[in-house]
Copies of this chain bind each other. A is one copy, B any other.
Amino acid sequence: MEKIKIGVFGFGKTGKVIASEFLNDNLFTLVWVVRKSHDDHHKYASRLLGYEFDAGEIFTGEDIGEDFFLERPVDALIDFSDSTGIYLYKRAAEAGITIISAISKYEQEELDLLKSFAQCTTVLYSPNITLGINVLMVAAQILQKIAPHADIEIVEEHFKGKKEVSGTAQKIANSLGLNVEEHLNSIRVGGIVGRHEIIFGMPNQTIRLSHESISRAAFGQGAIFAIKFLIGKPPGMYTMETIIAEMFRQNIPVY
């Protein structure tokens, strides 16, 4: 079987881990990496990450000319850079390359651009692309409908240095119609990678759905999961949450 060809935008802390996940998985070939800085220009991401083969030649934004995506074709482009990365890959979308963006926050203008790409190709945008968080989000919304009288609270725990409230936790709160000020509790201690818990309290029972991150590689696994799902799907805008919701629908147990 031919391997799925991948390009990655972003080679920071998370970008490197994402590249490694693709390098580790035989289903994929990492063709190139685009990064902001000029460091390691034309070197191979694979070598920098300790592999003994050449893969993922490193480019910078300025290298992306008219024919970049035609000369170095990929099946999917994963963006873990920043909100401006999007301005560089219009042609990729036009060429039908699947776009997966895990950027934390876009301005409206950027979001509109991303949506315009969705007319030509499959575009997935999710700030948190891990399987687990999206499973939690979908399950929580269903549970809220099943037990509408349950009181719901969200607890998120992260390392001391994380200043802002978890965007993921805010998104969960919004999806459940919960006021963030009142029902979202943030714990900041030590080196906790990330933990989200949704508590459903009923008079005689308590249900807890929790997700603990062990490493950033979960983002890479989420991207891999998404690419596999998007293969053969019609152009359009997707999110991890809609994919997971669809998978819930397909997998409800039959008795």
A residues bordering B, Cβ < 8 Å? 130-132, 135-136, 138-139, 141-143, 145-147, 150-153, 155, 157, 159-160, 175, 185, 187-193, 199-218, 221, 239, 241-242, 244-245, 247-255
Q: Are A253 and B208 in contact (CB-based, < 8 A)?
A: no
Nearest B-chain residue to A213, judged by Cβ: B205
- Provide 20 A-B residue pairs closer than 8 Å at the C-beta atoms, listed in order of the A residue: A131-B146, A131-B202, A132-B207, A135-B146, A145-B250, A146-B248, A150-B190, A153-B189, A159-B201, A189-B201, A190-B200, A190-B203, A190-B206, A191-B214, A192-B214, A193-B214, A202-B218, A203-B214, A242-B255, A249-B249
Q: Are B207 and A146 in contact (CB under 8 A)?
A: no
Task: Enumerate the 6 nearest inter-chain pairs by beta-carbon distance, A residue then B residue, closest first.
Answer: A189-B201, A190-B201, A204-B218, A151-B189, A145-B251, A191-B203
Instruction: Name the B residues within 8 Å of A244 (CB-CB).
Output: 146
Complex CA distance for A78 and B204, rounded to whole angstroms: 19
Known contacts A189-B201, A192-B214; A248 and B142 CB within 8 A of each other = yes
- Is the contact region of chain A dominated by helix, strand, or loop, or is it mixed? mixed
Of the candidates B142, B193, B207, the one whose C-beta lies within 8 Å of that of A252 is B142
Q: Which chain B residues lie closer than 8 Å to A217 at the CB level?
A: 203-204
A194 to chain B minimum Cβ distance, whole angstroms, is: 9
- Please, which residues of chain B bring their CB within 8 A of the CB of A248? 142, 146, 248, 252
Which of B151, B160, B199, B201 is close to A151, meaning CB atoms less than 8 Å apart?
B160
Are B211 and A210 in contact, CB atoms less than 8 angstroms apart? no
Q: Is the CB of B213 within 8 A of A190?
A: no
CB of A206, distance to nearest CB on chain B (Å)? 5
Q: A132-B205, A188-B151, A190-B206 are in contact. Are A141 and B215 (CB under 8 A)?
A: no
Tell me which of A190, A211, A214 has the highest count of chain B C-beta atoms within 10 A of its own C-beta. Answer: A190
Collect the chain B residues with CB atoms within 8 Å of residue A247's CB: 142, 145-146
Decide: A142 and B253 in contact? CB cutoff 8 A: yes
Nearest B residue to A175 via CB reads B253
A251 cross-chain contacts in B, Cβ below 8 A: 141-142, 145-146
